Amino acid sequence: MESTLDWHGAKALLEWYIELGAVDAIGDEPVNRYNLAETAPKPRRAEAAPAPDPVPQVRVDPVAEAKQRAAAAQSLGELAESMAAFDGCELKKGARNFVFADGNPAARVMIVGEAPGRDEDIEGKPFVGRAGQLLDRMLAAIGLSRASPDAEAAVYITNLLPWRPPQNREPTPEEMAMLTPFLERHIQLADPDVLILMGNTPCSALLGRRGILRMRGTWAEAMGKPAMPMTHPAYLLRNPAAKREAWADLLDIRAKLRGEA
């Protein structure tokens, strides 16, 4: 089709385009739009890259890991290091300190409590709060002390849980299951003559029973050793009348150590 524009018309049209702002050329060559296809071809979809093979998620059984770690420990020091490095228990993330044990590891008497409280979490030692101070006085009444270098007069103290539960709540069954293997190995390595189980939680872990007010004062067997269930000192602080029964339990423990029971 022949253009009807003369030179002056083309110049005027070009100036009009410039006034509209069309100052840049779209391409090097002119495009005859009458020769374009009626429907533009659809853009070719890029082929998606193959998805990588999923990485298999290996689920670690915390109880099995705890048993393996506990069995591998050949000393109390190794056991403490293994427990501190154990990440299977969520309590570790919220606790301030890892609380392993206190007292003389060679003692004939080993006391097992439930878990650290606020004061224990701060100091990193078991039974140091009000309940722990009462416990020290109770033990002193029968000639025992956690500070004694003499195994005959010493005590060794630990808890089932080395980390403080939030708001001092009771341990869950899952927490108890993953930490009981460490406690059992702890008892094997310390090898005391007598166990004192303070409260329901250690009784549940080592005896498989609860009901401390029924069990207290009656000798049982845990890990092949004589075990005396006792009410926790925290309970005695809330119920002073129960101290008479606790005193009777302490006398039974003294008699057992002397071979009189």
Mean pLDDT of 111-131: 96
Residues 19-47: tens digit of each pLDDT:
766 666 666 666 666 666 666 566 666 66
Question: How far apart are alpha carbons 190 and 94 in whole angstroms?
Answer: 28
φ, ψ at 198 (rounded to 5°): -90, 95
Residues 6+ apart with CB under 8 A from 231: 198, 199, 212, 213, 216, 242, 245, 246
Is pLDDT above 70 for 257?
yes
Question: How far apart are alpha carbons 53 and 179 in whole angstroms?
Answer: 36
- Higher local confidence (pLDDT), 62 or 9: 62
Question: How far apart are alpha carbons 123 and 96 in whole angstroms?
Answer: 9
Q: What is the dihedral of CA 13, 18, 24, 26, to 10 degrees?
A: -30
Quickly tell me which residue has 């189980």 as its tokens: 197
Residues 65-115: tens digit of each pLDDT:
999 999 999 999 999 999 999 999 999 999 999 999 999 999 999 999 999
Is pLDDT above 70 for 181?
yes
Question: How far apart are alpha carbons 103 and 213 in whole angstroms?
Answer: 27
Is pLDDT above 80 for 228?
yes
- Higher local confidence (pLDDT), 49 or 185: 185
Ranges 33-42, 173-182, 235-244: which has the least confidence: 33-42
Which band of pLDDT confidence, cut at 50, 70 and 90, is reported for residue 261?
A: low
Residues 6+ apart with CB under 8 A from 126: 99, 101, 102, 113, 116, 120, 132, 157, 158, 159
Domain segments of the chain as ranges = 62-257
Cα–Cα distances (Å) from 34 to 1, 6, 10, 40, 218, in that order, read 11, 22, 20, 13, 106
- Rg of the chain (C-alpha set): 38
Q: What is the pLDDT of residue 11?
A: 75
Q: What percent of the chain has pLDDT over 90?
A: 76
Question: How far apart are alpha carbons 80 and 86 in whole angstroms?
Answer: 10
Which band of pLDDT confidence, cut at 50, 70 and 90, is reported for residue 5?
A: low
Write down the pTM of the prediction: 0.77
The CATH topology of domain 62-257 is Uracil-DNA Glycosylase, subunit E (3.40.470)
Average pLDDT, the chain: 89
Are 194 and 253 spatial neighbours (Cβ–Cβ below 8 Å)? yes
Q: What is the pLDDT of residue 240?
A: 96
Mean pLDDT of 222-242: 97
